[in-house]
A and B are shown apart, each in its own frame.
Chain A
Amino acid sequence: MKIAVCVKQVPDAAATKRIDPGTKRLDRSGEGSLNPVDANAVEEALRIRDASGEGEVVLVSLGPEKALDSLRKALAMGADRALLVSDPDAAGSDLVATSALLAKALEREGADLVLFGQQASDSDGAVLWAAVADRLRLPLISQAAELTVEGGAVTGKRQTEFGYDVIRAPLPAVVAVADSINEPRYPSLKGIMGAKKKQQDVLSLADLGIEPERAGTTGSRTEVLALSDPPPRGETRKLEDDGTGAEKIVEFLVEKRLV
């Protein structure tokens, strides 16, 4: 069983994120780390591989070359090899362009199962897998909080706004996992040492046979026009409770005509 896991390097959680006013893109110059939920997708892939007793876990990513640092963390967890699509012409790709690039890379791999982490911490995006699934013409399960792979099909259970769903799809399939699905393992020292020696391929757009016009801003269908400060919420008041906290709240609610 071959499992591809799509992962992304995002600005480190500890860093203050900012949008570069010049390029109007997220400033990725600082410390990067593996998108947190992607570690859950890697963990799930490792569990499925290990339960079946054979197979391969391949990381697939798009980003600058320094994203290899984050891929190595996933290799240290136990993934077998990594494939990074990196090309200056791919910078600034939106959903349409990114999904086209990833789909090309995934087509080369021809995995039985393609996993995603449910949410990117930098763009608040929670949509990429559905676009990739459509391009690959594969069935999709999103938000999976439990997964079983059995008899040539994958079954996912997920929580929804109304309760839960159980969805089954024949392999090959695309699945996005929620972070409640598992607890990602910490890489062992041996894993960290071994990660450097694992196969890490960096592919350009030309390597994938993608025209530069299909990528980056020219391949995108959306644009950022301007940045501004969000409207203020109005006055905020913070009071220390001196024993009259509850009264203060009631006074406030009366003032707002809420009680």
Chain B
Amino acid sequence: MSVVVFLEHHEGELQKGSLGILAKAGQLGGEVAGVVLGSGVEELAAGAGRYGASTVYVADDAKLEAPLPQPRVDVLAQLVEEKGIETVLFAQSILSADLAAGLAARLDAGLNWQLVDIATQDGAVVGKQSALGDSVLVDVGWTSTPRLALFRAGIADPVETGGTATVEKLDVTFQEHSLAAEMLEQAHEESSGPSIEDADFIVAGGRGLGAPEGFGMIEELAKALGGAVAATRAVVDAGWYPYSAQVGQTGKNVSPVLYVACGISGAIQHKVGMQGSKVIVAINKDPNAPIFEFADLGIVGDVQTIVPKLTELVRARKG
């Protein structure tokens, strides 16, 4: 079976999410290849060998500099057809979702999304899809090859294998419509402290904080735990906290060791972004908040009194 993982990169680094999928792909048996598309990315691509890729296909072209999906559809379609690739895996991101869907149309290939796992069962590849707000787990299959799979972010951690990869350069030709959209401007927010995607500890705040100032105590607790601050979409939309901290359907997906949800109701849009957390602690004054249905420990109470006290106790404990 030939499996290729689309490896996304940002500012010279391969993204943790797609490296995790590289590890996941290893479970299918057989060798796993990666593909890196961009401009000036050859060296970066070779680095995927350390995470389990035996071959890394690289297309290095100025037309691939901006992270736009359509020129990448052209390259992946050529790769799949020339090499007879049977399975292409993607980690969820804005770029990957558009790329995977464009490729599905181009190749008339089946795409399953929201996957949390993939395995070979009785010789067939089966994806596990979490559906209807995680109320049901669906086994999904593909009726032809190539198979395309888009995984939920954070479902697998990268595994360092210490190997090296053979780098194979791809020739690329682009279709006219693929180059029609143009990136005029890209701005990156400077975030202070650890990024929420990499943090082991996350303290998150929602509407229940009452006011933007409530994030002061959230930051204090995060600092005490050595973690990062996250926010719900509602408070980001209200301008209480920057978008870069937003967790959920339209924000980031995180899977820290500990997620402390403060004043967060736990609506499905938020849940999908943080349910991969190993341990979830919730503080909310509404006893009927959905967050209590999936928090390992839920405290029905006032965040304003509990959070500062918790910060104090954590500080004391850590000395």
Which of the candidate stretches B43-51, B111-119, B166-174, B207-215 sits at the interface with the other chain?
B111-119
Contacts of B274 on A, CB cut-off 8 Å? none
Interface residues of A, count at CB 8 A: 82
Q: How far is the CA of A141 from the CA of B180 in the complex (A)?
A: 11
Partner of B111, one of A137, A168, A222, A240: A222
Q: In the complex, how many angstroms separate the beta carbon of A107 from the nearest chain B beta carbon?
A: 14
Q: In the complex, how many angstroms separate the beta carbon of B117 from the nearest chain A beta carbon?
A: 10
Q: In the complex, how many angstroms separate the beta carbon of A98 from the nearest chain B beta carbon?
A: 10
Contacts of A138 on B, CB cut-off 8 Å? 177, 180
Q: In the complex, how many angstroms separate the beta carbon of B304 from the nearest chain A beta carbon?
A: 11
Partner of A126, one of B97, B183, B293: B97
- Cβ of A206 within 8 Å of any chain B Cβ, yes or no, is no
- Cβ of B100 within 8 Å of any chain A Cβ, yes or no, is yes
Contacts of B159 on A, CB cut-off 8 Å? none
Closest to A103 in B: B105
Closest to A159 in B: B243
Q: Are B105 and A163 in contact, with the CB atoms below 8 A?
A: no
Q: In the complex, how many angstroms separate the beta carbon of B99 from the nearest chain A beta carbon?
A: 7
Q: Are B188 and A162 in contact, with the CB atoms below 8 A?
A: yes
Q: How far is the CA of A158 from the CA of B295 in the complex (A)?
A: 32
Partner of B98, one of A96, A100, A140, A236: A140
Contacts of B62 on A, CB cut-off 8 Å? none
Q: In the complex, how many angstroms separate the beta carbon of A112 from the nearest chain B beta carbon?
A: 14
Contacts of B302 on A, CB cut-off 8 Å? 241
Q: How far is the CA of A77 from the CA of B73 in the complex (A)?
A: 36
Interface residues of B, count at CB 8 A: 90
Closest to B103 in A: A134
Interface string of A5-46 (1 = CB under 8 A from B): 000000000000111000010100000000000000000000
Contacts of A180 on B, CB cut-off 8 Å? 237
- Cβ of A124 within 8 Å of any chain B Cβ, yes or no, is yes
Contacts of B296 on A, CB cut-off 8 Å? 233-237, 252
Interface string of A179-216 (1 = CB under 8 A from B): 01000000000000000000000000000000000000
Partner of A19, one of B131, B182, B283, B297: B131
Q: In the complex, how many angstroms separate the beta carbon of B316 from the nearest chain A beta carbon?
A: 9
Interface string of B276-319 (1 = CB under 8 A from A): 00010101000100001111111111100111011011100110
**28-73 of chain B: CB within 8 A of chain A:** 67-70, 73
Contacts of B70 on A, CB cut-off 8 Å? 133-134, 139-140
Q: How far is the CA of A155 from the CA of B181 in the complex (A)?
A: 9
- Cβ of A1 within 8 Å of any chain B Cβ, yes or no, is no
With A139-B177, A168-B182, A238-B298 known as contacts, the answer to whether A228 contacts B137 (CB < 8 A) is yes
- Cβ of B27 within 8 Å of any chain A Cβ, yes or no, is no
Q: Are A222 and B98 in contact, with the CB atoms below 8 A?
A: no
Q: How far is the CA of A48 from the CA of B31 in the complex (A)?
A: 51
Partner of B281, one of A135, A231, A252: A252
With A133-B70, A167-B68 known as contacts, the answer to whether A225 contacts B141 (CB < 8 A) is yes
Q: Are A96 and B111 in contact, with the CB atoms below 8 A?
A: yes
Q: Are A128 and B101 in contact, with the CB atoms below 8 A?
A: yes
- Cβ of B140 within 8 Å of any chain A Cβ, yes or no, is yes
**113-139 of chain A: CB within 8 A of chain B:** 118-119, 123-135, 137-139
Q: Are B137 and A229 in contact, with the CB atoms below 8 A?
A: yes
Contacts of B113 on A, CB cut-off 8 Å? 124-125, 127
- Cβ of B93 within 8 Å of any chain A Cβ, yes or no, is yes
Q: Are A227 and B137 in contact, with the CB atoms below 8 A?
A: yes
With A253-B258, A259-B317 known as contacts, the answer to whether A224 contacts B140 (CB < 8 A) is yes
With A127-B100, A234-B296, A259-B318 known as contacts, the answer to whether A170 contacts B180 (CB < 8 A) is yes
Closest to B308 in A: A246
**124-153 of chain B: CB within 8 A of chain A:** 126, 130-144, 150
Q: How far is the CA of A127 from the CA of B300 in the complex (A)?
A: 38
Partner of B258, one of A140, A166, A235, A258: A258
B interface residue numbers (CB < 8 A to A): 10, 67-70, 73, 93-94, 97-106, 108-114, 126, 130-144, 150, 175, 177, 180-189, 201, 225, 237, 243-244, 249-250, 252, 257-258, 272, 279, 281, 283, 287, 292-302, 305-307, 309-310, 312-314, 317-318
| A/B interface sample: 20 pairs, CB < 8 A | A19-B132, A95-B110, A99-B101, A124-B114, A127-B104, A133-B70, A158-B94, A161-B93, A166-B186, A167-B182, A168-B184, A169-B182, A178-B250, A221-B104, A221-B108, A245-B305, A246-B312, A246-B313, A249-B297, A258-B201
A interface residue numbers (CB < 8 A to B): 17-19, 24, 26, 94-96, 99-100, 118-119, 123-135, 137-143, 155, 158-170, 173, 178, 180, 220-231, 233-241, 245-250, 252-254, 256, 258-259
Q: Give 3 closest A-B pairs by Cβ, nearest first.
A: A241-B301, A221-B110, A127-B101
